[in-house]
Amino acid sequence: MGVPALLIRRARDFHEPLLGKRARFLMTSHSTEGDWLAHGWKDGLRIVSEVNDDPGGLDEPAVWVQEERDYYGDTQSTNRFAVGRSRLWIEQYVSAPPPDTDIGRQSWIENLNRDPNSPELRMMHHAEGHPDPVGARVVVVGEVVETDLRAVSPVRMTDNGELAITVMAERDWYRWARDYPAEPHPTLRWELAARVWVE
């Protein structure tokens, strides 16, 4: 049986509709002389348009992206920006073979993505034993797989001795974290920690 993992791959190699997908893009900085200074990733984004062949100001087809907190937060935000498709990576959950249990201390180096153009697979980790899952994206694996959730508590022991963690829908987490209501949110619930995987 597979375990949850996050697959990150270039949008140009993704042949499904992009609207609503989680994304990140490669940012680069150049000096006024045109010399490359640095690069890095902007993540935590959602795609809010399909590909536009003439986005204006870019020399390639692009999509509009928005911060997830605005996408889910019911806020009227103009904080959207166009990103060329060649600089965009899509994030999606997949099932992957379990990692090798006979792992040395430096084995994480073997999993480094040496080619940023190739897809990257990031294994998720059980909530049990996670030092601080609060606010992290989680997946619940049961009869069905539930995604787009956030952890809102550390792992706790229930009165009957089971380990559990509180989760809620990600769309509600942004509002709940901002407006913290006195009443529990309807999507807030306990899950057995053994069923919860942390990104």
pLDDT at 146: 94
The predicted-structure confidence for 80-119, as pLDDT tens digits, reads as follows 889 989 889 999 999 988 876 655 656 555 666 667 677 8
- pLDDT class for 70, splitting at 50, 70, 90? confident
Regarding predicted confidence, which is higher, 127 or 113?
Answer: 127
Secondary structure of the chain as H, E, C letters: CCEEEEEEEEHHHCCCCCCCCEEEEEEEEECCCCCEEEEEEEEEEEECCCCECCCCCCCCCEEEEEEHHHHHCCCCCCCEEEEEHHHEEEEEEEEECCCCCCCCCCHHHHHCCCCCCCCEEEECEECCCCCCCCCCEEEEECCCEEEEEEECCCCEECCCCCEEEEEEEHHHHHHHHHHCCCCCCCCCEEEEHHHEEEC
pLDDT at 159: 93
The predicted-structure confidence for 143-164, as pLDDT tens digits, reads as follows 999 999 999 999 999 999 999 9
